[in-house]
Structure 1
Amino acid sequence: MKGKSLRIGAVFLDSQGFYGGVKAGFRSAASASGAKLKLVESNPGDDASKEASFVSTLVSSRVDALIISASSQTGSVPAIRSAAKAGIPVICYNTCIDQADLGKYVSAYVQGDPVAFGKNTGNAAADYFLKAGITHPKIAVVNCEFVQVCTLRRQGFEAALKAKVPGYQIVSNQAGTTEDKSVSVATNQLQAHPDLNAFYGESGGATFGAYKAIQSGKKAGKVVVFGSDMTTDIANALADGTVIKSITDISGKVTGKLAWEQVQRVLQGDHSLGKTVDDPITGYTADDKTAVQQWLTAHADGLP
């Protein structure tokens, strides 16, 4: 791709830090390959209609490829189909459309196994409860289950808990993907369940929102958080270890790099569809402060 000028459409699901990391990783990998990249980007804020409008603009302007974290497993199908039928390769990352349509219209899907992701968090939570002697923990979930990936994360989380701490109970499961919404959701959950032991945050915003609600409600040391998606703020809270006890993470920068590799593959003539690309999953705990500090050092620019 050395010296080649490319216009790539990019859809970022929302404004959480993970997507900044994806963009940085994608740009860096493209630059390292020698390509001259122009990124035409949008953040539709989980809105399938805004996403469709933006993709329509990309199709009309004939971008060379599209990378997308789809807002809906079903609702994003028409937009992705229109791009594919216009001859624009589509690479999903993080979230995508249903498997049948993915095999028809998507060149590749960069994804960390969401069930394994949830199990990693569930195992960390179970180990914490067992060590603390909590046999019947009450857990509130702050979710991002408008996308299937997050539902699968919770299923993995519960499967791991069921195997080790079968007396656990999910007492509340409410939507709060981004930090601003998740703070109020988690605050309400704390008030409704004064005997709550823990939160499970399915996304970075959900995780940090639960953390802030605990701090504001003066519940630090009484209620803990098991969460997802590392950011600098989350890493610092995890290093402190009072509230956030574990984080399961997929690096945005690595995701962006893998997405670029798939763009490069299809633009070099491989037109196969439906390829799944494994995105590595890493677990961090408050007990392993060295690993958390290493993450902070490696991500000094603030991008996950």
Structure 2
Amino acid sequence: MRCIALLAVGAVLAACGQSAGSGGASGTKEQLRVGVIYLDSQGFYAGVKKGIETAAAQDSQLKLLGNNAQGDAAKESSFMSTLVASNVDAIITSAVSATASTPAIAAASKAGIPVVCYNTCINDADAKKYVWGYVLSDPYVFGKKLGEQAGKYFTSQKIDKPKIAILNCDFVEVCKERKRGFKDGLAESVPGAQYVADQEGAVVDKATPVAENIITANPELDAFYAVAGGGTLAGIKAVTTRSRVGKTVVFGSDMTVDIAKALVDGSILKAEIDVPAQTVGKLAYEAARKASSGAKNDSFVIPVDPILYTADDKATNEKWLTEHADGIP
């Protein structure tokens, strides 16, 4: 018998099952213990969690009893300390901050525990020293593809100087790169774009009043660009409550069921760029398992290609909803 325990932010993922192999990636070790830390509780991380569970099911049935860092570097540090003290075999994490998360990740690495980042990580120099691998969709490319699609939309509508408001998540470096990519992608075909606001809007409940106030201050607003999923939903809600349907559109990031439904409707949300969360989870777990065996990583970045969805392609959007009938992206 072999028992696999995934420690998720200080709680234990524990289950036991009959081994399908003779030692697996961990050689003669009878038990593999992997820590998992989620950045927040938004839809993307539910998808990552499912991807991890699905990949880990090949080793054993397991039950997730975890929590998440909720975007708080202090909580993240506490969780990481617990995992290090528990002497887990590997840690999977989406870092809260490129700088504030470094000491905790460095401590794990110095304790001999390989760390795998996904989606977000610490600054490049420290990541190369303390992180085994990084499951990443290039954030600049992610943003650029959406910016190019936004350019096609404005060109088709003969809008050469669109007024755009950004709902950002600049507290993580990935979001800054997404935003830079979007601006560059849009500028290729619509160099006259005007950015009239750029405010934090990552969590839907907090971002909705922000978006509503932006519309009030900019009654001729042509579009929101939401850098994260919470901002996407906030932009859609604000356009609806401020009676701007048909006048202000949204270009969003990170797919969820509600976002897919808005794409099928197509009246507000015109395009969405997404990193398939379950694929990220699967790759992160596989990387952690490989790292725990002492294997070297031939390529630090473990790439994931972003997927662009448009309101014009209803069949694809409806298919996405069918494939994610459980509500998990």
Alignment TM-score > 0.5, same fold = yes
Confirm or deny that 1:31 pairs with 2:57.
yes
Give the AA of the match of 1:294: K
1:62 to 87, 94, 116: 87
Equivalent residues of 2:102, 2:122 under 8 A apart: yes
Does 2:51 match 1:18?
A: no
**Match in the other structure for 2:163:** 138
- Report if aligned partners of 1:7, 1:39 keep a CA contact under 8 Å in 2: no
Establish whether residue 102 from structure 1 lines up as the match of residue 102 from structure 2.
no
8 A Cα contact 1:7 1:40, kept in partner: no
> Which string of whole-angstrom CA distances, capped at 9 and with x for unpartnered residues, describes residues 207-246 of structure 1?
0011111111111111000000000000000100000000
The match for 2:307 is 282
Which residue of 160, 182, 186 maps to 2:207? Answer: 182
| Amino acid in the other structure paired with 1:285 | T
The DSSP-based 3-state class of the residue aligned with 1:42 is coil
Aligned partner of 1:45 in structure 2 is: 70
Deviation for aligned residue 1:268: 2.5
Instruction: Give the C-alpha shift of residue 37 in structure 1.
Output: 4.9
Report matched runs for 1:169-208 at 5 Å.
169-208=194-233
Q: Which AA in structure 2 matches 1:127?
A: K
1:234 to 256, 259, 267: 259
53-62 vs 192-201, which moves further: 53-62
Which one is further off, 121-130 or 59-68? 59-68
Equivalence for 2:138 = 113
Measured in 1, the distance between the counterparts of 2:91 and 2:285 equals: 10
Deviates more, 1:129-138 or 1:267-276: 267-276
CA distance in structure 1 between the partners assigned to 2:164 and 2:285 by the alignment: 38
| TM-score, reference length from structure 2 | 0.89
Match of 2:10 in 1: none
TM-score normalized by structure 1? 0.96
Higher share of residues assigned helix: 1
Moved more, 57-66 or 173-182: 57-66
Inter-partner Cα distance in structure 2 for 1:263 and 1:47: 23
Letter in 2 for 1:119: K
Whether the 8 Å contact between 1:119 and 1:156 is mirrored in structure 2 is yes
Preserved contact between residue 14 and residue 46 of structure 1 (Cα < 8 Å): yes
For this pair of structures, how many residues does the alignment match? 303
Structure 1 unmatched ranges of 5 or more: none
* 1:110 partner SS: strand
Give the distance between the partners of 2:186 and 2:176, measured in 1 at CA: 15
Identity %, equivalent residues: 50
Does the CA-based 8 Å contact 1:24-1:256 persist in structure 2?
yes
Q: Displaced runs of 4+ in structure 1, greater than 6 A?
A: none
Once the two structures are TM-superposed, the CA of residue 274 in structure 1 deviates from its matched residue by 7.1
Matched ranges for 1:66-85 at <5 A: 66-85=91-110
